[in-house]
Structure 1
Amino acid sequence: MPRPVIAVAGLACETSTFTPSRTDAPAFHPQRGPDAVGIYRFLDAGTPLAEAADWRGALIGRALPGGMIKRTAYEELATEIVERLQATMARTKIDGLWFDIHGAMVVEDLDDSEADLLRRVRNVIGPDVVVSASMDLHGNVSRELVHMLDLITCYRMAPHEDELDTKERACKNLVDCLTQKPGKRPIKAWVPVPILLPGEQTSTRDEPAKHIYAAVPTVEDLPGILDAAIWVGYAWADEPRNRAAVVVTGWHTEAVAAGAERLARLFWKARAEFHFVAPTGTLDECLDKAFTAPSASKPFFVSDSGDNPTAGGSGDVTWGLTQLMKRKELTRKENQPVVIYASIPGPEAVRAAVEAGVGKTITVTAGAAVDNLHAGPITLTGDVVAIKQGDKHARTEVVLRPEGTSLYVIVTDLRKPYHYERDFTELSLKPREADVVLVKIGYLEPQLYDMAADWMLALTPGGVDQDLRRLGHTRIRRPMFPFDGDFKSPPDLSARLIPLSTELLTGPDE
């Protein structure tokens, strides 16, 4: 039997609709043709999956989370995906397609953009090609999307330490369907769950998400089931599809439906148990605790969570840094704390620092060029401590130390998340020796989590505000927990068996 031909395509960007920033096409760093396959090490030459199929890259684009994608950017990238698939099909028959997406991408003037993209793809590849999707657990799964897919799965860990494992599973499931059950399409059971929570309340490190996600492989191991998945959903966008969901796929109707309902009930039953992954407070409350913490609690990390660039924040909200600069601890004469702030974009400030050079004192202004809803640009006078060029996200980074302080502020050409120890040490900073590290993030990524002797989550303003009620959702389906508290009647958590459809549905997305 010849190896199946599998195309690879997808666009991914976790998108907040509550930030004024916008995302353009270059932000997706598109990979095309063989390069679109080469970014996945489990498809490297000689690996089992690489040998099992003939992988043909169309286009893969992954943007740093941010504001809505410009419609022109989406049309440009979606059109190229379609054209590349058409070119591939002109040369050979496609048996399968791996659809690598996030699930929370929002395009200007377009709802459910992943379903729209898949509809365009299906119009090219037709109904017979088997399509498998891999997604972030913070994605959204509409009925329309499931209708046009054959297989679908998502991460089972938050933080997402299993990202590559999930993508590999999506590809393996696809290969197995094509080679072991040719011509047979999996049964899909979908259950929408009316819960919408921020990721910082649903980390799989902690209960109740820990035991809920631990149940996923137990369902998947049942006879007749191929894959099981739970989506938390994405809380910082305002579309009707934003909510939690469960999808189970397999070969036996009763098993698939029962497995989906079991996971949905487990999630719903635990709804009141979800809590933040760390102690929370206002920024001042968190800094009070950090500055008075004993030495055994240093470094003390504080999450400036409202402007987290890896959740969709613009990254240039200055409110947190402005409040930090007002603290008397920074300028006291004795026992001055060493504080690191990561980070604030300021292209002009970066250029001035580069021109001046390390060791020089400069006065620059940065931030609030995109999101000035909470505070305006901030002006800093201080020494240039470090300069680094060539970063993938930031492009150029500089470290400024305001006069009379032991505060080190990272200023970037473009916004950047700070998740790894090397992000700091390559700037001559020593986060393990700092007293306080204030970083724009929600839950701490693994390396930061391991570094932190103690930690608090500051409930700060921004496009990914953890206090969802402050954002003003108007389009999500109601009732929705926790927006509406206790429901008058329990939600319908019965499994919806979803047949394959290559057309976008026009009926209600229940």
Structure 2
Amino acid sequence: MNVFIAGFQHETNTFAPSRADWAAFEAGSGFPAYRRGGEMVQAYRGRALPIGGFIVEAEARGWTLSPSGWAGANPSAHVTRDAFERIASDIDEDLRAALAGPGVDAVYLDLHGAAVAEHLDDPEGELLARIRTRVGADVPIVASLDLHANVTAQMLALADGLVAYRTYPHVDTHDTGVLAARLLARRLARGSRERLAVRRLDFLLPLNAQCTMAAPADAIYEELKRLDAQHGTVLSFAMGFPAADIAECGPVIWAHGETSEAAEAAVAALFARVDQPRSQWQTALLAPEAAVREAMALAADAQQPVVIADTQDNPGAGGDSNTTGLLHALLACGAGARFPGQVAIGLLADPEAVAAAHAAGEGAQIEVRLGRSVPTWGGQFSDPPVAVRATVRRLGDGQVTLRGPMGAGAQVRLGPCACLEVQGVLVGLSTLKSQMLDRELFRCVGIEPEAMKILVNKSSVHFRADFAPIASRILVAKAAGPMAADPADLPWTKLPPSMALRP
């Protein structure tokens, strides 16, 4: 059997300041750089990506693969028309060649599910439509999705099977690709589509509440597995990405099953568990200085670091990792004076400050402005840059090999990096943005996370996979930034009136 495979990964925050152009997909940054054809299979086989898991499972089943391109870019505002059409055009060109050559018995797509393009509210649905037009109604199409996918009716109608991650932090990306291959095998063995049941929830889930390392999501996904075993279904619960201003933004539960009764029963049971009580989805958020003061009090007697999530500048959700609200708070509260050299924040993406540090050299003192004031939403801006005299503690090249549960073995390219000490606070700087989801991202600028009293991470939830084991406490701070911790803060224009902005 010959399976055509391709990938398109982007999580779009339509309220964010920076767009994803073709250069963003070519560079990859936090994602692998764009690859196409046989090179893609060689590079991604077995990697901590859905397509990596799919390739391993497909080859174990003796399937032949016809690879197209795999494109991923850091979360940001809209994917540009040019970038999407280049990616779609490459996939279409390769699909036409495969159909003319070995033929195509099935299609697998590694999708995110929460992309928005300049000209399309549902680019994944559009990509599925173009592929369906090429291959016809009888060729199975299966896709894997991110847990944060905003799953549309078009996506569900055009694909024979969709399956989403079940963890956040996403430590099951490879396993989801394996599950997608098994879902495709079910479809092939049956000879026709399995029955589909779908329920859409009528409220948005805040990103910080979606963590599957904590209640209620941990128990809900365990229930999902139990229901699958009971009904013989493949259930998915995509919690949605609550910063994409499209009509179908929000959580969706669906199941593929042998019978309509099995699929409906599984979906109904999981829906009831997710929907009530809605208070289970509420999460505590602290103002920046309140978070720092609490962290200082906790750190005084703690043997392990207190970690503060700078959630609204999360570069994994559309932030550019350059806002200064938490840095202002650390300095205003005297955190560095209380714990000199044991307070760190990172990574602050600031190419100008990095260049100044490299020009001066390690040990030098420089006058520098750190960070940016960036537009958020409703005409608001984040905090101003921090003008300081700083000491250059460490310089680096930004070539990092991740070792944590998310992306272990992956290579991250941050460009030149530096560590500055400002009033006892260590500021990790990078040229390119990257979510602080792995301790190696601190180590690359000479900061040892385990030796810190307070760590401020530019992340919402992914950091927990590698930092929770060393943290004495985790706090979530709401400093001004492009990713709203509370979806009700955003100026929505396309959500239906029936959609509640809070649980």
TM-score, normalised by the number of residues in structure 1: 0.87
In structure 2, the residue matched to 1:498 is none
Is residue 41 of structure 1 aligned with residue 46 of structure 2? yes
In structure 2, the residue matched to 1:463 is 482
Is residue 280 of structure 1 aligned with residue 285 of structure 2? yes
Is residue 170 of structure 1 aligned with residue 180 of structure 2? yes
Offset at residue 344 of structure 1 (A): 1.6
Is residue 50 of structure 1 aligned with residue 59 of structure 2? yes
DSSP-derived class of the 1:222 partner: helix
Is residue 398 of structure 1 aligned with residue 404 of structure 2? no
Q: Which stretch of the first structure deviates more once superposed, 128-137 or 342-351? A: 342-351
Is residue 194–residue 257 contact of structure 2 (8 Å, CA) maintained in 1?
yes
Is residue 9–residue 58 contact of structure 1 (8 Å, CA) maintained in 2?
yes
CA 1:458/1:47 → structure 2, altered by over 3 Å: closer, same or farther? closer
Percent of aligned positions with the same letter in both sequences? Answer: 27
Is residue 423 of structure 1 aligned with residue 441 of structure 2? yes
Is residue 484–residue 490 contact of structure 2 (8 Å, CA) maintained in 1?
yes
Cα distance in 1 for residues equivalent to 2:136 and 2:373: 45
In structure 2, the residue matched to 1:497 is none
Q: Which stretch of the first structure deviates more once superposed, 372-381 or 101-110? A: 372-381
Q: Counterparts of 1:2-401 in structure 2 under 5 Å?
A: 4-28=1-25, 29-38=33-42, 39-41=44-46, 49-52=58-61, 53-178=63-188, 180-181=189-190, 183-223=191-231, 225-276=232-283, 279-293=284-298, 294-296=300-302, 298-331=304-337, 336=340, 338-368=342-372, 371=375, 373-391=381-399, 392-401=412-421
The C-alpha deviation readout for 1:122-155, integer Å capped at 9, x for no partner, is 2222222101111111111111110000011111
The C-alpha deviation readout for 1:464-492, integer Å capped at 9, x for no partner, is 12122222222212322354x7xxxxxxx
Cα distance in 1 for residues equivalent to 2:79 and 2:330: 32
Structure 2: which 5+ runs fail to align? 26-32, 400-411
Structure 1: which 5+ runs fail to align? 486-510
Offset at residue 272 of structure 1 (A): 2.1
Offset at residue 390 of structure 1 (A): 4.2
Cα distance in 2 for residues equivalent to 1:19 and 1:453: 32
Cα distance in 2 for residues equivalent to 1:10 and 1:370: 31
Letter in 2 for 1:238: D
Offset at residue 100 of structure 1 (A): 0.7
CA 1:415/1:47 → structure 2, altered by over 3 Å: closer, same or farther? closer
Is residue 399–residue 409 contact of structure 1 (8 Å, CA) maintained in 2?
yes
CA 1:385/1:54 → structure 2, altered by over 3 Å: closer, same or farther? same
The C-alpha deviation readout for 1:295-325, integer Å capped at 9, x for no partner, is 2254111111111111222222233323333
The C-alpha deviation readout for 1:350-384, integer Å capped at 9, x for no partner, is 12222222122222334327648213333332121
Cα distance in 1 for residues equivalent to 2:55 and 2:328: 53
Query: Cα RMSD between the aligned structures?
Result: 2.2
CA 1:47/1:381 → structure 2, altered by over 3 Å: closer, same or farther? same
Is residue 192–residue 244 contact of structure 1 (8 Å, CA) maintained in 2?
yes
Offset at residue 64 of structure 1 (A): 1.7
DSSP-derived class of the 2:308 partner: strand
The C-alpha deviation readout for 1:168-207, integer Å capped at 9, x for no partner, is 10012213432x23x3222211111112112211222222
Letter in 2 for 1:21: S
Is residue 320–residue 349 contact of structure 2 (8 Å, CA) maintained in 1?
no
Cα distance in 2 for residues equivalent to 1:329 and 1:208: 33
Is residue 345–residue 366 contact of structure 1 (8 Å, CA) maintained in 2?
no
Offset at residue 68 of structure 1 (A): 1.6
Q: Which stretch of the first structure deviates more once superposed, 169-178 or 235-244? A: 169-178
Match of 1:407 among 411, 417, 425: 425
Is residue 8–residue 36 contact of structure 1 (8 Å, CA) maintained in 2?
no
Cα distance in 2 for residues equivalent to 1:191 and 1:319: 39
Offset at residue 387 of structure 1 (A): 1.4
Is residue 437 of structure 1 aligned with residue 455 of structure 2? yes
CA 1:44/1:436 → structure 2, altered by over 3 Å: closer, same or farther? closer
Cα distance in 2 for residues equivalent to 1:80 and 1:406: 51
Cα distance in 2 for residues equivalent to 1:393 and 1:91: 37
CA 1:126/1:380 → structure 2, altered by over 3 Å: closer, same or farther? farther
Cα distance in 1 for residues equivalent to 2:187 and 2:126: 25
Compare CA radii of gyration and give the structure with the larger one: 1
Offset at residue 244 of structure 1 (A): 0.8
The C-alpha deviation readout for 1:73-109, integer Å capped at 9, x for no partner, is 1111111111111122221210111111111111113
The C-alpha deviation readout for 1:248-301, integer Å capped at 9, x for no partner, is 10221211122222222221123221132xx53111111011112232254111
DSSP-derived class of the 2:302 partner: helix
Offset at residue 45 of structure 1 (A): 12
Letter in 2 for 1:121: I
DSSP-derived class of the 2:291 partner: helix
Q: How many residues align?
A: 472
